[in-house]
Structure 1
């Protein structure tokens, strides 16, 4: 019985221990599920992918006649090469035919793609219990894994990036691996000749003004500019920026302000504090950040962070009200800044 953990999947794909059997890529991240299946098929195809015999089915198609899967798996390839069956949108309707194949795949590799499955799901249970079965969970990337993917992609392409490129790109993109891959391909193609990427390049190609709106939200909230805050919130939410993500970013922003304020209180100038950060804040925000450091005291920042954490908690308990919670919380902080 082999049940891989999500963090083990990337390592497994680099060196699978089976060349035949049933492989199940499943999880809530559809882009990562598809990428996992594609990487596995490339590996299973061997040194000559063109010679592989890959048959693709859709789950609902097989559900109406599950015997097709067994017939295809047992048939002999007319042209030789590795026999691979890929099934998209697989469900527990395939459990019966897969039961016939799990102990004797006959050299065939069956790669299944499925949505998120509970531990008790019949399809997942069958694959995890099979000697020739491997289940590959595909869950949304963490900040660490996404940023590692970005750095690895740019390094492999020989592209030098400014220190704020990866953090800026992470702020813009969500957790869908397919979307991330697509944006990275666009950036590497853009920088193929120059071999250099800047934050401005990322904003121009990927942000759709989303990242600019996010910076505006952070600085308008911290600086006490209510009208600017309203405009920036409207832009960000119209661009489908997640309000819960914005609350988390605001929490991080105010935590940074509090850490920087401690350095300011120790005798450093605001400019010296900001210049010493790595990555250094973008030059276009230096003036706004200096103003915020002057406006907020440490006790006030502690109170602001507490209010933001409450907003994060409220938005998770009542996701339908996340937009309203974001607006209420940021306006309250904006008013706090304006009264200092």
Structure 2
């Protein structure tokens, strides 16, 4: 059963057909995939975080253990109630998709726990995907394709989320705000939550374009964010130019060091998630990487390792201490830090 029309999808997520025993939710926008998977999980089981009734697996869990997925689907609930098995696929291991197809077939054939529900969350699945084909042919499996939000979808989501917090935007302010948002659902939701906090939850404010000027200006400075990315990407000249622009704009040395530290933090979180089985692109999104910066960030993430980042961490802490020392030459300290980071990036192949 393919659910691509919004009314059909909303009805299903609110009250799933009891005859459906599995679901495959997929799409490029992993924020939408995760959101709809969470909605469905809440309907399938009373507590999606219950470790006795719910199992959450990634591709990393299946690597080297081909029987893990079917074993979880065959297991009986220890506390009563329906058992939920969630599988998150990053699309980087074809073997994982094959295991998912086999487990889906056996579950729907009645060979595993009849009270188990399989929920697969995946990235973009092409028409040639064996998992997509198998799921679409199975009457007891719901297939939910997720597409990137259109402008109207983002506007509606913003209106509804802000209304729950007792605040709102005028039509002009909403258009201005939505125009600054990416269409990736997870990132957009975080920005909407940040706006609600800015306006004051429960204040009843309906903000206009002028009211948003301060909020829209509270963005990471392009010169600093770009300089940090350039440094970790091995582009020293561009990094130093960005730092100098930031200095002319009145941004302090500690702020520049902080930007470099934030970039390192995103790389560290992304690599940690990837080491635990998440797909690299999925991990980058979860780490808050802006969609326009994703390609360059992934290039860096494929070269840096957690071990090489540990060496940079010490340099950043030392620079931060130096910048906070009286009469320290902030610009020189941050440029030297960028030089150290860019040099290490070049040595690892960037």
Q: Into which bin does the TM-score normalised by the smaller protein fall?
A: 0.5 to 0.7
1: CA distance, partners of 2:132 / 2:213: 41
2:97 is aligned with 1:92? yes
Query: Paired residue for 1:145?
Result: 153
Q: Map Cα deviations across residues 218-275 of structure 1 (whole Å, 9 max, x no partner).
A: xxxxxxxxxxxxx9xxx9xxx9796xxxxxxxxxxxxxxxxxxxxxxxxxxxxxxxxx
Query: Paired residue for 1:17?
Result: 17
2: CA distance, partners of 1:240 / 1:114: 20
TM-score, reference length from structure 2: 0.55
Query: How much does 1:172 deviate?
Result: 0.6
Which of these residues, 132, 147, 160, is aligned with residue 124 of structure 1? 132
2: CA distance, partners of 1:167 / 1:33: 25
Contiguous gaps of at least 5 residues in structure 1 = 211-230, 243-340
2:107 is aligned with 1:101? yes
- Stretch of structure 1 that moved more, 28-37 or 201-210: 201-210
Query: How much does 1:192 deviate?
Result: 0.7
Q: 1:36 to 1:207 in 2, by over 3 A?
A: farther
Q: 3-state DSSP class of the match of 1:135?
A: strand
Contact between 1:26 and 1:136, CA under 8 Å: does it hold in 2?
Answer: yes
Q: 1:41 to 1:185 in 2, by over 3 A?
A: same
Q: 1:176 to 1:18 in 2, by over 3 A?
A: farther
Query: Paired residue for 1:194?
Result: 203
Q: 3-state DSSP class of the match of 1:64?
A: coil
Query: Paired residue for 1:4?
Result: 3
Q: Map Cα deviations across residues 10-40 of structure 1 (whole Å, 9 max, x no partner).
A: 4432232247522111011111111111111
Q: 1:208 to 1:189 in 2, by over 3 A?
A: closer
Q: 1:194 to 1:132 in 2, by over 3 A?
A: same
Query: Paired residue for 1:110?
Result: 118
Q: 1:11 to 1:145 in 2, by over 3 A?
A: farther
Q: 3-state DSSP class of the match of 1:113?
A: strand
Query: How much does 1:187 deviate?
Result: 2.2
Contact between 1:23 and 1:136, CA under 8 Å: does it hold in 2?
Answer: yes
Q: Map Cα deviations across residues 53-82 of structure 1 (whole Å, 9 max, x no partner).
A: 211110242253232111111111222233
TM-score, reference length from structure 1: 0.56
Query: How much does 1:188 deviate?
Result: 2.4
2: CA distance, partners of 1:203 / 1:12: 40
Query: How much does 1:126 deviate?
Result: 1.1
2:41 is aligned with 1:41? yes
Which of these residues, 176, 182, 185, is aligned with residue 168 of structure 1? 176
Query: How much does 1:97 deviate?
Result: 2.2
RMSD: 3.3
Contiguous gaps of at least 5 residues in structure 2 = 91-95, 221-244, 250-288, 293-350
Contact between 1:103 and 1:132, CA under 8 Å: does it hold in 2?
Answer: no
Aligned length: 218
Query: Paired residue for 1:327?
Result: none
1: CA distance, partners of 2:153 / 2:41: 22
Query: Paired residue for 1:204?
Result: 214
